[in-house]
Amino acid sequence: MSDLRARLLPTSLADLSLDQWRSVDLPTARRVAQEVADLVEGRVAAVETLEHLGAPLHRVRIERNAQEFALLPGGAVTLGFDLDAWQPTPEQAADYAESLDQGFGCGPDLRAHLAQMLSPLRKATLATVLMAVEDGNLTAPPADMPAVLAARGLRMPSSDEWEHACGAGADTLFRWGNDCPLDRIPYGDRTGPQNQLSAFGLRITYDTYRTELTNVTTAVHGGDGGESVCGGYGPLLAWLPLATANRNPAMAEFVHGPDGEDLYEDFSTRPVLPLRS
């Protein structure tokens, strides 16, 4: 590897930080992608650069055993949602108030609702990993999935890893910003922002009927199993399951409770392939 690689990147790929990753040029990113592919006995499927949060971000996909993984640089990251620094738009507040009048919502106003649904602002240090571009339905009950994945050299993500994979450093309510269309619900909408890949290249928070599990039993991610849509909660409440920091504790309790055991095939997870070098 070049002198630039030696100066900017750590010795172990697992220690690569997002800030370091942003500092390298495209040729170096391609060489790192090949290193990662060689490490996991896979192949480089794509390397591209996009603008994210006002700076370039290299997006890498690695194919291994007919499954595509995205490279997620880690390091010191900020997760959760800062409610103190956020203000709902008048349209969002009005939409929530209308849902509240119909008997939906978890608080007297939108801020109180989000305080119960979203993870708090916090710092974390994460290893660089490969994470599946697509989530996959469970093939065993949640308690058995770690062993199922371990047989393939994989594991379930942590909630911190999931949020980082979704937001890629963005501090907004959704991975694409603070707003969502209020003239429609996300289910069946082919033109909304949820249809775009995330900054790291994942197909994530794309369907509220999805319910992604991590190794944390008190949270689910990426959707609510269609609860908000089927319940007619209103547009904003139908979009909020796609919020990056959404954890939906009531749905998590159901999924990991006795009623959810028989429905495990309706839930999904997003396997992680650790990098060890």
**List of the chain residues with pLDDT < 70:** 1-8, 277
Residue owning tokens 């065993």 = 140
pLDDT of residue 258: 87
**Looking at residue 4, what is its pLDDT?**
46
pLDDT at 229: 85
Q: What's CA 154's distance to the chain center, in Å?
A: 17
Write a three-state SS string for the chain. CCHHHHHHCCCCHHHCEHHHHHHCCHHHHHHHHHHHHHHCCCEEEEEEEEEECCEEEEEEEEEECCEEEEEECEEEEEECECHHHCCCCHHHHHHHHHHHHCCCCCCCCHHHHHHHHECECEEEEECCEEEECCCEECCCCHHHHHHHHHCCCCECCCHHHHHHHHHCCCCCCECCECCCCCCCCCCCCCCCHHHCCCCCCCCCCCCCCCCEECCCCCCCECCCCCHHHHCCCCHHHHHHHHCCCECCHHHHHHHCCHHHHCCHHHCEECCEEECCC
Tokens of 188: 């069946």
Residue with tokens 């994989």: 154
Q: What pLDDT does 3 receive?
A: 45
